Amino acid sequence: MRDLDETLHLPVVTLPDGDLDALELLLGGLINDELSYPIGMVGTLISAPAHPELTGAPGVLLADRDRTPLARAQLAPESASSISSSRLLAGGVSALARAEHGPFRGNRITSPVPGTPVVLLDGAPTPVLLERIRSFRNTVASSIQFVLITTSAEFRNPDFAGLLAELEAGSRLVGAVNPGILVVPPDIPAAIPLARLRAKVLLDARNGESLHRADAGKVVLLSGLSGSGKSTVGRELLDRIRTMDRHRAVLLDGDDIRQFLSKGLGFSREDRETNVERIGWVAARVSEAGGVAICTPIAPFEETRARLKTLAEEAGGFLLVHVSTPLEICEQRDRKGLYAKARAGLIGDFTGISSPYETPLEPDLTIDTTLVPVATAVDLIIDRLYPGEQAGS
């Protein structure tokens, strides 16, 4: 009874998709926390945001996006990242509820499948492969199963439903049971869960090719001070991508987001982080559907940008562009009079004046719009989004 009462009062941490995939494999026995492979950070089990309510807590509840607690874990003592200020979790993870998040739930393999002969694939089976598998049916007493090895990001690729349909059709042709999906989380080699699958591998037909399309969805984050030129570059980039007839692109501009999605939020650090996280979640859904999401918030904090990156990379590609226009130039462009109000003390927590802007540690591109024309800036971004292709082709 005491344990139940304590559990009810533990803080809840909502995990991103990759961490949820790893948690399922851990609870199902396909990975082991003693392996020191990360769910979130190298050398630990998982990273937990440094919220005040975690201080002094004996543990934490790990929840899915619906805030359903799936497991309980212990917090590692006095552990923190110098970059993210995250509290880290130790071992002792115990299950509380069965996972229901994520697509194709009925096909997912999260625990050993002893006694089931399997064929390992990382793509759709070819006619030649199906014929080869058919020959095994004469020597195998039990039904065989196709097991597709995929990653957390590929699993959410818009093309995945079509791939699963091909696997199901191939299974019917050779008399196999419904195909299974083994989702391998980030930074965990597939060999680890496969070694614990306890299944007889009839054939390993993987060739190492990614399921990602060349034109898979992407998130572009343009981060910089107010007045740096983020929105101007973002609008031009939106038009350029749309003329390439390749994607449905959307612009998630900071002002628009605050008017609708983040209406009611203020400008404290917590509210600004929440605003960027909401943008990141929407952008990831656009990418997940195969589109390009162009995001132009100030996004002043490294930790929040890192969380947006995690959301984006679970759905597709991610590009961080630091629009590094100097503060004095941004003030000269002060069309809305915000800097003047901040200097006069009329606006508190204003980035660049009374609140810091943490320069990105590892941006994919750095663009100073006082040195680089907007059209050239867009060219540079397009070259990174579509390497080796001519813009407008």
State the pTM of this model.
0.55
Domains of the chain: 2-95 (no CATH), 105-211 (3.40.50), 214-385 (3.40.50.300)
What phi and psi values does residue 55 have, to the nearest 5 degrees? -65, 120
Beta bridge partners of 320: 221
Task: Please list, residue by residue across 295-305, b when 16 or more beta carbons sit within 10 angstroms of its beta carbon and e when fewer do.
Answer: bbbbbbbeebb
The band of 137, judged by pLDDT with boundaries at 50, 70 and 90, is: low
pLDDT, one tens digit per residue, over 12-58 is: 888 888 888 888 988 888 887 544 333 333 333 444 455 545 555 66
pLDDT band with cut points at 50, 70 and 90 for residue 392: very low
Residue 250 CA to residue 254 CA, distance in Å, equals 13
pLDDT of residue 80: 44
C-alpha to C-alpha distance for 256 and 305, rounded to whole angstroms? 19
